[in-house]
Structure 1
Amino acid sequence: MASHEAQGCLGAASVWLDPSRSLPLTALQDEEGPRLPAGLPPVVDAHVHLFPDGVFEAIWRWFEQYGWPIRYKLHTPEVLAFLLSRGVSRVVALAYSHKPGMARLLNTYMAEVMHAEPRVLGLATVLPGEEGAPAILAEAFAAGLKGVKLHCHVQCFAPDAPELHEVYAACAQAGRPLVMHAGREPASPHYKCDPHALCSAERVERVLRDHPTLKLCVPHMGADEFDAYARLLERYDTLWLDTTMAMADYFPISLPRRALEVRPERILYGTDFPNLPYAWDRELKQLLGLRLGDAVEAGLLGQNALRLFGG
């Protein structure tokens, strides 16, 4: 179901962000709803980014130049007010560090946000391989953070790299889930590494096999290896996927519906808010349009996330 509105992208067999383009992808001027539709089960957005103001603004500059226009340039208090006032019941808040020494600051910030707003389920981060990574995570867990967020593209690591083992062990020992952007897309030549060289479903399977008690969630439905991740869902009870941007009909891809049908109890609704080029509820509308049934919708929209993150 390729979107005619995402002009300029390459096909799903290649990169989604065309390296020949000097401009980012186009923004959509789609209509946004004033709030969630009436009658829905509790909705948890399992993929919301929260950063200190300066970090947010640096991320937005990168996206504006190399990714897509940001429709919602909102700082943390505004992000939460926006989503919660529109009927979202809980948010899973993610941040990621990109240099040594940054993780503790982000984790402290996230813990403060979470304690000020109980509807936030905040996750920690760490830079794989940095000195004292297990201690950084232990401190974050003691502060109440609910899991860990890593990003292979930004932090430039392969999922099965040796320096990750101590991070996986810390998560497994504490019973905290790990959200790791380990899919190959959206890739960009402006990352400091090649996501297609680092990331693959095969590498993620090694992680699942070597760390059988690690609870791992891969965002974007594992983009762009949708079929491979659906097969992993069938094999491993410790794997989850989130829908973030893969179900919004923005990129020129076929809808990755098979994973929804294989293990619907392992799929989480997420948006990437506020770093979106389209309406905040676009992905929700697409998912509701699939008419998956009341039980599947209740799980996908909120219950699965609460079971995973302990909300």
Structure 2
Amino acid sequence: MSSGDVPACLGPAPGWLGTPLAALNDAEGPRLPEGLPPVVDAHVHLFPDGVFEAIWRWFEKYGWPIRYKLHTPQVLDFLLSRGVSRVVALHYAHKPGMARFLNTYVAEVMRAEPRVVGLATVLPGEEGARDILAEAFAAGLQGVKLHCHVQCFAPDDPSLHEVYAACAEAGRPLVMHAGREPSSPHYKCETHALCSAERVERVLRDHPRLKLCVPHLGADEFGGYERLLERYDTLWLDTTMAAADYFPIALPRRTLEVRPERILYGTDFPNLPYAWDRELKTLLSLRLGDEVEAGILGQNALRLYGAP
């Protein structure tokens, strides 16, 4: 079977979300600790109200309880009032015809709040994908977000070539959930068949100008993504939920240390089952050093997105 022939439905996934996970009743801080370098949350979800509520229903049924059911204005007020200096706003379209609406929404949010770095989305393979992205970039959106699990595609599927080319030509980074986990049998595709570090390497090799960020430190193939970080200067990873001691994994510390200048702090806020600052506390407890901490907590994201 070629990379482009992976069927959209392959039966239940074997992943971490075989049954819904529990909420954690952990304490949250009132704001970021004093003395930190600028903190950029490079993985925040912003959606229109109705889309947010549909996502929360899915998570409550199949994923984990949502601790922070906040709509976009409240999400931004919550994080920015607690000391986060910038947020990278991510969204994704799960069916044709949604992308333009979502992109326009995030572009308007970004214009109203300059501390938001807004990304675009598109559904891989939908008609006019390059035009959709061109319009989004013209509107000021600063990258693209794709989700292999939700949108049911393999990273090396030929239908992605036009998206990768559009990002590379515009110099816009792509954030793509291409790791196998956290996976659920309630996705419409088998993510362990669609996703792998090997498939991502094909993308990096075939599109050498593409700036690619893989969330969740590439969970659960941490070793594979460590090797890709060592080989490719166009790959970044974000920490989202992989450094929070929530999933059934040990903290992949070496993944953080192999090329720390390519690691971004991210949370998945507001779709969390634990305290908003849990992952930050874990990262600070590692005592990675002032320079490394400053990079991971904010400077790496600012460099990736070219933000002042």
TM over 0.5: yes
Map 1:120-131 onto structure 2 (within 5 A): 120-131=116-127
Residue type matched to 1:185 in 2?
Answer: E
The Cα of 1:185 is off from its aligned counterpart by 0.2
Map 1:1-311 onto structure 2 (within 5 A): 15-18=15-18, 21=19, 24-311=20-307
Deviations 1:186-206 (A, max 9, x none): 000000001001000000000
Q: Quick one: distance in 1 between partners of 2:237 and 2:138? A: 26
The Cα of 1:170 is off from its aligned counterpart by 0.1
Residue type matched to 1:85 in 2?
Answer: S
Residue type matched to 1:135 in 2?
Answer: D
Q: Quick one: distance in 2 between partners of 1:33 and 1:310? A: 30
Where has structure 1 moved over 2 Å in runs of 4 or more?
A: none
Across the aligned residues of Structure 1 and Structure 2, the Cα RMSD in angstroms comes to 0.5
Deviations 1:139-184 (A, max 9, x none): 0000000000000000000000000000000000000000000000
Q: Quick one: distance in 1 between partners of 2:15 and 2:131? A: 37
Q: Quick one: distance in 2 between partners of 1:263 and 1:94? A: 24
The Cα of 1:238 is off from its aligned counterpart by 0.1
The Cα of 1:254 is off from its aligned counterpart by 1.2
Residue type matched to 1:209 in 2?
Answer: R
Q: Quick one: distance in 2 between partners of 1:98 and 1:115? A: 25
Residue type matched to 2:265 in 1?
Answer: Y
Q: Quick one: distance in 2 between partners of 1:46 and 1:232? A: 21
Q: Quick one: distance in 1 between partners of 2:297 and 2:113? A: 20
Q: How many residues are paired up?
A: 294
For structure 1, the residue ranges without an aligned partner over 5 or more in a row are 1-13
Q: Quick one: distance in 2 between partners of 1:107 and 1:94? A: 10
For structure 2, the residue ranges without an aligned partner over 5 or more in a row are 1-13
Q: Quick one: distance in 2 between partners of 1:277 and 1:262? A: 29
